[in-house]
Amino acid sequence: MPTPDPNLDQAVRFLESIRGRRSVREFSDRPVSQAVIEHLIAAAGSAPSGANKQPWRFVAVQDPEIKREIREAAEKEERKLYEGRANPEWLEDLAPLGTNAEKSFLETAPWLVIVFKQVRNPEAEQGSEQVYYVNESVGIAVGMFLAAAQFAGLATLTHTPSPMKFLAGILGRPEHERAFMVIPVGHPGHDSSVPDIRRKPLEAIMRVDRDRSPNADEPARPLPSSMPTTIGG
């Protein structure tokens, strides 16, 4: 009889929760308490960072007027993307997702969490003003935020209008902060739907030790697992 593995049990439970995470573009206006958002951001703030500089700032927006301003500015940039900035291949890749320049979720979702990266450290107690591995550090924190929101039963979307300089102006952020991502947070709308996409199976994204196959691009042999290897759907 196999020895119980509590670490595997916990990993299985987490996977069962996170594998249901999907990007949602139709949100309900059902309220989410500020306390919930605070806990999600606190979870994200526990992420590792280069030299522990914690080069992130999470701005949580619930004010309807501010959300409207953000939507108008974001849609202005998105129209430029769809009308000329994006090459045909990019637009073709976006087509199955059904996206367009209209971003109504920026007003409908009860919260927008705008993540900023800090290009210098303004806090003397954390040492010099220099920061390290900023994109990597903030990216990890964002991933932890998304996982925490999923665990809390909430829907999210990663939105990156380009360029995003308008966000610093609307939200009054200092010069050393740069917008990194906009994350609407809330509950899915009653008629919300998501594209029919599949996650890559485990054997397509994982290798153990050295890849000894003559062609590294060839699919690896399926890995033994106590769970199905295909994640998502």
Count of alpha carbons within 13 Å of 6, Cβ hemisphere only?
0
Q: Can you tell me the mean pLDDT for 210-216?
A: 66
Cβ-in-10-Å burial (0-12, 13-18, 19+) of 115 comes to buried
For residues 174-181, average pLDDT: 97
Q: Which residue has the tokens 């050295």?
A: 210
Confidence (pLDDT) at 228 = 41
- Of 103, 105, 80, nearest to 162 by C-alpha is 80
- pLDDT, position 162: 87
Q: Calculate mean pLDDT across residues 177-204.
A: 88
The CB-side HSE value for 141 (13 A sphere, CA atoms) comes to 30
Predicted confidence band at 230 (pLDDT cuts at 50, 70, 90)?
very low
Three-class SS state of 147: helix
Q: What is the CATH number of domain 24-189?
A: 3.40.109.10
Instruction: List the domain boundaries for the chain.
Output: 24-189
Give the rounded percent of residues in the chain with a pLDDT score beyond 90. Answer: 69
Strands (E), 119-232: 155-156, 177-186
Model pTM score: 0.86
- As a whole number, the mean pLDDT across the chain is 89
pLDDT score of 114 more than 50: yes
Distance CA 35, CA 204 (A): 39
- β-pair partners for 114: 59, 182
The arithmetic mean of pLDDT across residues 166-187, rounded, is: 98
| pLDDT for residue 37 | 98
The closest alpha carbon to 178, from 59, 66, 70, 44, belongs to 59
Quote the distance between the C-alpha of residue 42 and its chain's center.
15
Render pLDDT for 132-145 as a digit per residue (tens, 0 to 9). Answer: 999 999 999 999 99
